[in-house]
């Protein structure tokens, strides 16, 4: 697995990641209106985009969804609690930026919860009939879902035990954590989420929603 970071061209300078495994990839948190840099990278490297993944539903992490879907229609993965953010400009904070942004409700939007596992052929779960066909594919698991509310009610992290990699969105940054003064933010829940992440191996590499990479071990000293 290889993680390639792109800095979204928006006021928040959020990170977008391409998660590359062989010839397939995920795109995580596309946050600029025209995702030209990422699309050019996919085409140049002949990568097949399997899905778009969202750590949460704030504007600086979702603004490029339509651009990516115009490039290729693929499943869009978001947490159960983050789904509403895609259609509510107050929750997504689009209204704060005077942005008119809507996600097409006809997209293949798949809702994630704690301990769900994503493979390139779909979501692997035990109790969701909608994805029964995906289970039969027995695709290699790529990411386990960790629910980390606090920054918003719908924040999740993507964790690969095999690769010791975690994409943390706006829950955990290098030396700090995400804001807790926004609609649906909860400081108490953020504290619980950070302690939860500190239970993972110290050599887990962390790819945050803003700024640079870190590790669980480096951040553990703060929590």
| Alpha-carbon span 91 to 95, nearest angstrom | 9
- pLDDT for position 133: 46
- Half-sphere exposure (Cβ direction) of 54: Cα atoms closer than 13 Å: 33
| Alpha-carbon span 118 to 202, nearest angstrom | 23
| Alpha-carbon span 150 to 135, nearest angstrom | 31
Domain boundaries defined on the chain: 2-162
- pLDDT for position 151: 98
- pLDDT for position 128: 46
Query: Please, what CATH class does the domain formed by 2-162 belong to?
Result: alpha beta
- pLDDT for position 140: 66
- pLDDT for position 173: 97
| Proportion of the chain in helix, strand, coil states, percent, rounded to 5 | 25, 30, 45
> Distances in Å between the alpha carbon of 180 and those of 64, 171, 172, 220?
24, 10, 12, 20
Q: pLDDT in tens for each of the 223 residues of the chain?
A: 999 999 988 888 999 999 999 999 999 999 999 999 999 999 999 999 999 999 999 999 999 999 999 999 999 999 999 999 999 999 999 999 999 888 988 899 999 999 999 987 766 654 444 444 444 444 567 899 999 999 999 999 999 999 999 999 999 999 999 999 999 999 999 999 999 999 999 999 999 999 999 999 999 998 8
- pLDDT for position 214: 98
- pLDDT for position 9: 85
- Overall pTM > 0.75: yes
- pLDDT for position 86: 96
- pLDDT for position 129: 44
Pair of tokens at residue 121 = 């052929």
- pLDDT for position 124: 61
- pLDDT for position 12: 86
């Amino acid at each position: 697995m290889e993680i390639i970071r792109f800095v979204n061209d928006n006021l928040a300078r959020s990170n977008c990641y391409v998660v590359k495994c062989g010839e397939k990839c995920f795109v995580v948190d596309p946050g600029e209106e025209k995702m030209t840099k990422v699309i050019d990278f996919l085409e140049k490297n002949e990568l097949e985009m399997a899905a778009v993944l969202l750590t949460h539903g704030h504007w600086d992490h979702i603004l490029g969804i339509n651009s990516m879907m115009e490039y290729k229609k693929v499943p869009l993965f978001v947490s159960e609690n983050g789904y509403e953010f895609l259609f509510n400009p107050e929750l997504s904070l689009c209204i704060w930026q005077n942005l008119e942004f809507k996600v097409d409700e006809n997209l293949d939007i798949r809702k994630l919860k704690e301990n769900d596992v994503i493979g390139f052929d779909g979501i692997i779960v035990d109790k969701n009939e909608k994805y029964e066909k995906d289970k039969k594919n027995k695709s290699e698991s790529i990411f386990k879902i960790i629910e980390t509310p606090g920054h918003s009610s719908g924040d999740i992290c993507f964790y690969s035990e095999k690769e010791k990699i975690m994409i943390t969105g706006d829950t955990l940054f290098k030396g700090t954590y995400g804001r807790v003064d926004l609609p649906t933010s909860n400081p108490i829940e953020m504290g619980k989420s950070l302690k939860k992440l500190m239970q993972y191996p110290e050599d887990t590499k962390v790819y945050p929603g803003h700024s640079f990479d870190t590790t669980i071990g480096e951040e553990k000293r703060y929590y």
